[in-house]
Structure 1
Amino acid sequence: MKLLELVGRPLLSWMVTATTLGSAHLHGGPRVRYVLESDRWSHVQLLLEQARRAGVDIKTEQIIFARSGGQQVLKQHLSELCQQSLQDPQYKIELIPVSIFHGRLPIRETSWLNLMYAEAWDQGGRIGRLMQLLINGRQSLIQIDPPLQLQDLVNSTPDATTLTRKASLLLLQHFRTRRRAVVGPDLSHRRTLMSMILHHPGVQQAIATRAREKRENIHQASRYAARELQRIAANFSPVTARLLHPLLNATWRRLYDDVEILGLDRLRERALDHQLVYLPCHRSHMDYLLLSWALYRHGLMLPHVAAGDNLDIPIIGPILKRGGAIFMRRSFQNDGLYRALYQQYLALMSRHGHALEYFIEGGRSRTGRLLPARTGLLNMTLDAWCASPERPVALVPVWIGYDRVVEAHSYQRELSGDNSRHPGTLNSLQSVWQVLRQRFGRVSVSIGEPIALADAVNPHLPTRPQAHALGRQLLERINQAAVLTETGVLATVMLGQPQLILDSDSLALQCDQLRQLAQRLPNAPASVPPEAPAHWITRARDRKQLEQSGNQVRLEPAQGREMTFYRNNMMHLFVLPGLCLLLVRRSAKPLPQLITRMLRVLYPYLQAELFLPWPEPNFSAVAAQLRQSLLDQGLLTREGKQLRACDSDTALCLMRNAEPVLLRYYLLCRILQRYKALEQDELMERSLQLAAKLQREFGFDSAEYADKRVLSGFVEQLIDREILQFKGSQIQPRVSLDGLMKQARGLLTERRLSFIDQQLDDQSQRSLEG
């Protein structure tokens, strides 16, 4: 043994580089026992080395094992401890479970070769273990979990035998659940799983329906089903995932100044007893790579990711598929068999305990705004859970924010109407070499508060309306997990300047004031950039997101259009402060109660557009907190009972960014006031045309200002609140809009109001001439 330790310890240090989670639970003392899953010598040494680094004295006799030589020996180790705990109430033993994984990837097949690449459910012999350390030693994870207090079990346990059995069962179950949470289920069942899907009664019925509708025989329809299922199903390969991890490490170091990961701690315990379904916002093709990389890095199971089949292209498609991609068509409403296959595939993956990931918005946002929820896959998730609600499932919202997205240029081409390249394929990215030559700043992956389906869904009610409500809640929680980005703040300030020009000192000051304000808001971001804004400016200049000449900073037109993406990332944070200041500035008697009342009128529409989190009945308290934040920052002041908006550059910037939101709402209502009743399509068309003209005239530098989805959402809110109504196929006011228009005209500038009226007069004149 002396020789083994003399030679083995340096060799082990050379072979193994471990990430340790839960180091806070490391502590010494005679009443502490560390429980390892197996009696591997290397695992004992890794634990002792970790304790030494933490300054904790652990003796080898304090380490016990759940298994030895393939046999469960935990009861023997615990027997004496349990006997003493029953005899002496002061004998308080802590049992600290320690799990050690190498590679942390599920075994795909029962071959010895794969053991080298995977943390298998059943360990191989000594040669296999040595090879595992050689291949995967630098991808090791040491997970130290909170202690089990043996004395806590004594009160409910009558004798030592029962206590020993109970403690050992708890620890063995902990190791099983921890392993499943980190490694994931065994993947050797893939062929069986696909056979089960094809023979499922729902799929068989869909095959028969297709055969009847397409005038095919059952054999042809079954072959179609098998072929489509092969295209759908992931073909996860531990080898591929193992090789991708260091490649992604190198890629992120090359592309990004820093990758910030927040909120993963709240998932570790939930992952022990819940299937996790990740629902990130979708802003870049990098999203799913970053999230999978972050989960692997922090000891959580890799998810299988639903991805558009536009990515199933030569070379890239097979790699993604072997990395866990589940390909899907953009739409399959007209193919009942395809829908049945996809639904049963997700259901069986869930039943086997796989983590899943899909994008709640459906596709990438080219504008930087969160898109309305696409609930097709969410509805399938709810259907699968309702079929067996005893299985815990948690939905995990994820915010991903960038200082710059790699698709920045292609997004602007698409928004300007240039669709010469297919927007959904990797061809829309710059060449790999061009991307790798650039820097893209910081990127943040922030985990929001999970939603347990058992708390949010009634399995006895229809799932579709519940999925719709849950989709909105997920988007709200994504925004609640938002991180303030450097570029988002810079964009907010620069796009709030009439000429898109500002001196660097003023820009840095306003950025700092917005950062301080954001931290005081009711919906404060999860984190803020750590460095001084002067560094933000330098880095943005180096990324060619703005121009700097001496002390002057400016945005070229193309840069201004690109920066709207990052301003829109932060719109949910700054729109209410901007509107509050604007209402105070433009109101004749800006009393706090009046400003709150006016904000309450606007809030439902803003909530629908920007996925703000507060229920309407709670908004008065939120408005009071918002007002206090602006007072604390000196952006608002009090003059007697009234409020006064400060004349600072920061206050004006916030107001300029908020006013276009009010103006967009006003123009739609003004069109209805003018024409009395319009077909919905005509109302949308006239509103979009007028919004586009406003954008060009007043330089909002936002190609998505005339966004049909935003205006449609506003119309839906007006109908829900019984301000508008359908009469036949036309939309018309249900109540007079005169009072609302009069109030709006008191808040908006005369120049813009006159422009809208002039455009409406011109439209009417052209209609008469036509």
Structure 2
Amino acid sequence: MPGMLRAPLRRLIELWTEVRLAEPTPDKLALDPQLPTLYVLPRPSLSDALLLDSYCQRHGLPPARGRLALPDSNLPRCVALPARRFRLWPGQATGVAPFTELITSDTRIQLVPVSVFWGRAPGKDFGLWHLLAADSWRLTGRLRRALSVLVNGRDVEIQFGAPLHLEELHDGDAPRTNRKAARLLRVHFRRVRTRVLGPDLSHRSTMIQGVVASDEVRREIDQLAEKASSRKRLKRRARRYGHEIAANMTYPVLRFLAGALKRLWNRLYDGVDVNGLEEVKALAEDHTLIYVPCHRSHIDYLLLSYVLYREGLMPPHIAAGRNLDMPLIGPLLRRGGAFFLRRSFRDNRLYGAVFNEYLHRLLARGYPMEYFIEGGRSRSGRMLTPRPGMLAMTLRSFLRCQRVDERPMVFVPVYIGYERILENSSYQRELGGGKKRKESPLDLLRVLGRLREPYGRVSVNIGEPLPIGGFLDSHAPGWRDDESPRPDWLAPTVTTLGRSLTRRINRVAALNAINLTGLALLSSPHRALEYATLTDQLALLCRLADSPACGERPSLPDESPEACIARAVDLGMVERHAHSLGDIVSTTPEQAALLAWYRNNVLHLFALPALVAFAFRSRHQRSLHELCDLLTPLWPPLAREFCVDESANMKERLAAILAVQVDLGLLERHGEGFTPVESLEGRERLELIGRMIQPSLERNALLIEVLLRSGSGALDRATLKERSRALSERLGLLSGREAPEFFDPKLFETLIDTLEHEGWVWLEQDRLHFDECLKRAAQRASRLLDASLRRRLALISRHREEAVEAPSEVSAQP
């Protein structure tokens, strides 16, 4: 193009466009300043070249305009791979990559692949928007690209690839080296487009037709038709199920949601912090990603999709409960990538076959996916026991895919941490026994009324990805040779997989102002601390979390302890009272109940250090050997409750914790023994840490006490859970811990499951039986509790027995 036209067009591009995302950033682009730089685009595009030229000049990168003046060549600084054309007859020219001159010149040069995305649309026909809106898998003509620049000038992404050194590919044959360089660049461009745009999407109706016509669904229809059902009616029903389930991801809605959510987050939160996404971006190029976040709020899936879109990744298809498929909200979510499932379809074989096949086709084609392994939102703030349904279907789909060498699949654990959530009041009502309200469009109006309230910051932390193939190699070694669609090893492996994922999620928890303040304040006897003591305790907790004693890798707040307390006050979670002898920070009972939810988000990080600190409550001096003997049997139930790793070498973990607590000034070492420090301040700090684990120890002790007093074979699971819950509620009222989460029935279910897993109890004819092992474990646990606490637990349990026996005695009287 003549220079007189190129200059004004470049100026127009500068004024009209805005690069929303560039990866990597210019300061992280590993260019060798001593080598000539040649930028390579995936296809000829004047708008891409002009935008790249403007961006390079603005950020001090090697220029993208002009020509490279080399001894034997004179190429432009920005070139494009030739567009591939369909050849009508043999011998027709198809275009050759323009690197031959550089190879023959024997000059060292670096090729930098550059992908430019004007908006992002998955490859699907979207009508007029498809003409105007954005980049997709389809090739773009000149008119459509010009219109796309006009529409998407404020939503541009630039993806730089790692520099490719041409001389390293040269093998003496210039044409072959040229083809090799072009092939490597095309593979890179294809992977980048897959990461950003996702796989090429099929039309929704095409997907549903394929599901209904699949062998698995037809086989289920044939089996049901043998029971006098009409085959045509069954096909219509299967097609209706497909329409009920399938997503209808559309680019206009993605763009609308991206803009709307950006405004929503800016109004709701002071910022969204994202950690650990770099490894996921690399995996997205050639892996099927399955995001498995924790589920704390209704906005989890919106937040994660927004973060992925903002960071240059394709938003996933999201498994959502059918309760969200309501007027107004449902169609919007469906077009944003949500597909809906019923809470249970065990008794509906046809629905199960349709859903399984739809899920398999999404995964087999490489669509990123997201679902919540907990099943529902956590009302207590803890990680819930994983549900096996979606995990089992994913593993079965993986087995089908691997038999035809499809893309590898990998789970991506995600922790989402809030300083304040929208559902505070509803969670407390439901934990207190209130019935869960059915979702409705009116809920959106209620939420809109609270948008002006402060909600602090939110963190999105990415955990260590878990490749499914590697996991099965470790836990089901013979899986590659098993041709069964439902192998015997599947059920136990799904359970292990769920626990592994929850642990990986918890491992990257986010400490923030609210959960840190909750950890410290709720450990005090009266939910109040002096301001100076609270700031010291917050600093201590951060140092403890950042030490080897924690054993995890949480993200820490950037603020000082003083700023954390100020934020908690601003968000209405605590109260600060001025006093002449020093300010006091306290909570009301309502605030304490709310803080307990946020404390439970991160309590697992301190479970084992707190258990060690609590052990010094009942005895002044303990040795490492004694602590190991005392705490090793008690740790598995607690580890399962908090969804953390059950340490393979307990002695090493305890030694590390003791060393850190000595360094923090909480313990002193005397030969082989450890004792609390002599200072009153140090003892108070140690006691506050130990109190964090006390509610869990009391709950566990109560349940075991109820079981032992009732006798082996006297109680079933439901009765034991209800009696323990009632006693825990009574203990909470007597001890000032009346927060509903303290007597959450799910905690007792988890404990009973753990006792069964450890072999301390077992089921016979729906009754729980035990032997001397449980009695010895209870005696050992009682050594950890001081005398006053043991008396209180025994008294509460005895009152419960008297209350149960009294009605039967009265009824026996004539």
TM-score, normalised via structure 2 length: 0.89
Using the TM superposition, give the Cα deviation of residue 427 of structure 1 relative to its aligned residue in structure 2, in angstroms. 5.2
Using the TM superposition, give the Cα deviation of residue 277 of structure 1 relative to its aligned residue in structure 2, in angstroms. 0.7
CA distance 1:266–1:585, shift in 2 (3 Å): same
Residue 627 of structure 1: aligned partner: 658
Residue 597 of structure 2: aligned partner: 565
CA distance 1:413–1:425, shift in 2 (3 Å): farther
Using the TM superposition, give the Cα deviation of residue 632 of structure 1 relative to its aligned residue in structure 2, in angstroms. 1.8
1:247-262 to 2 correspondences below 5 Å: 247-262=260-275
Bigger shift: residues 497-506 or 307-316: 497-506
User: Residue 185 of structure 1 aligns to which amino acid in structure 2?
Assistant: P
Asked if 1:318 is matched to 2:318, the reply is: no
CA distance 1:314–1:351, shift in 2 (3 Å): same
1:348-747 to 2 correspondences below 5 Å: 348-389=361-402, 390=405, 391-419=407-435, 421-422=437-438, 431-457=446-472, 458-460=479-481, 462=487, 463-520=490-547, 521-550=549-578, 551-587=583-619, 589-613=621-645, 615-646=646-677, 647-677=682-712, 678-681=714-717, 682-747=719-784
- Residues 329-378 of structure 1: CA deviation (Å, up to 9, x unaligned): 11111111111111111111112221111011111111110001112111
User: Residue 43 of structure 1 aligns to which amino acid in structure 2?
Assistant: D
Unaligned runs of 5+ in 1: none
CA contact (8 A) 2:249 2:337 kept: yes
Asked if 1:77 is matched to 2:91, the reply is: no
Residue 4 of structure 1: aligned partner: 5
CA distance 1:427–1:514, shift in 2 (3 Å): farther
Residue 25 of structure 1: aligned partner: 29
- Residues 306-346 of structure 1: CA deviation (Å, up to 9, x unaligned): 00111111111110011000011111111111111111111
Using the TM superposition, give the Cα deviation of residue 760 of structure 1 relative to its aligned residue in structure 2, in angstroms. 2.8
Tell me the matched-pair count.
760
Bigger shift: residues 352-361 or 457-466: 457-466
User: Residue 498 of structure 2 aligns to which amino acid in structure 1?
Assistant: G
CA distance 1:714–1:475, shift in 2 (3 Å): same
- 1:743, 1:701 → 2: CA distance? 28
Using the TM superposition, give the Cα deviation of residue 737 of structure 1 relative to its aligned residue in structure 2, in angstroms. 4.3
- Percent identity of equivalent pairs: 34
Residue 142 of structure 1: aligned partner: 158
- 1:739, 1:352 → 2: CA distance? 54
- Residues 615-637 of structure 1: CA deviation (Å, up to 9, x unaligned): 54233322222222222211222
Partner SS state of residue 692, structure 2: helix
CA distance 1:494–1:367, shift in 2 (3 Å): same
- 1:427, 1:632 → 2: CA distance? 54
1:266 to 252, 275, 279: 279
Partner SS state of residue 327, structure 1: strand
CA contact (8 A) 2:760 2:770 kept: yes
Using the TM superposition, give the Cα deviation of residue 68 of structure 1 relative to its aligned residue in structure 2, in angstroms. 5.3
Using the TM superposition, give the Cα deviation of residue 503 of structure 1 relative to its aligned residue in structure 2, in angstroms. 2.7
CA contact (8 A) 1:225 1:337 kept: yes
Partner SS state of residue 772, structure 2: coil
CA contact (8 A) 1:695 1:702 kept: yes
User: Residue 451 of structure 1 aligns to which amino acid in structure 2?
Assistant: L
Residue 186 of structure 2: aligned partner: 172
- Residues 38-73 of structure 1: CA deviation (Å, up to 9, x unaligned): 222222222233323332333532322113597998
- 1:50, 1:701 → 2: CA distance? 59
- 1:26, 1:98 → 2: CA distance? 14
Partner SS state of residue 279, structure 1: strand
Bigger shift: residues 469-478 or 199-208: 199-208
1:277-356 to 2 correspondences below 5 Å: 277-356=290-369
Asked if 1:41 is matched to 2:78, the reply is: no
User: Residue 449 of structure 2 aligns to which amino acid in structure 1?
Assistant: Q
Using the TM superposition, give the Cα deviation of residue 691 of structure 1 relative to its aligned residue in structure 2, in angstroms. 1.6
- 1:700, 1:443 → 2: CA distance? 28
- 2:804, 2:314 → 1: CA distance? 62
Using the TM superposition, give the Cα deviation of residue 554 of structure 1 relative to its aligned residue in structure 2, in angstroms. 1.7
- 2:83, 2:739 → 1: CA distance? 65
Partner SS state of residue 99, structure 2: helix
1:50-89 to 2 correspondences below 5 Å: 50-60=55-65, 61-67=76-82, 75-84=96-105
- 1:76, 1:437 → 2: CA distance? 56
- 2:731, 2:260 → 1: CA distance? 47
TM-score, normalised via structure 1 length: 0.94
- 1:316, 1:726 → 2: CA distance? 45
- 2:123, 2:131 → 1: CA distance? 7
CA contact (8 A) 1:575 1:654 kept: no
CA contact (8 A) 1:311 1:426 kept: no
- 2:664, 2:95 → 1: CA distance? 60
- Residues 114-165 of structure 1: CA deviation (Å, up to 9, x unaligned): 13223122333222112111211211111112123334434xx563332222
Using the TM superposition, give the Cα deviation of residue 300 of structure 1 relative to its aligned residue in structure 2, in angstroms. 0.7
Asked if 1:117 is matched to 2:133, the reply is: yes
Question: RMSD of the TM alignment (CA)?
Answer: 2.3
Residue 233 of structure 1: aligned partner: 246
Unaligned runs of 5+ in 2: 66-75, 87-92, 473-478, 809-814
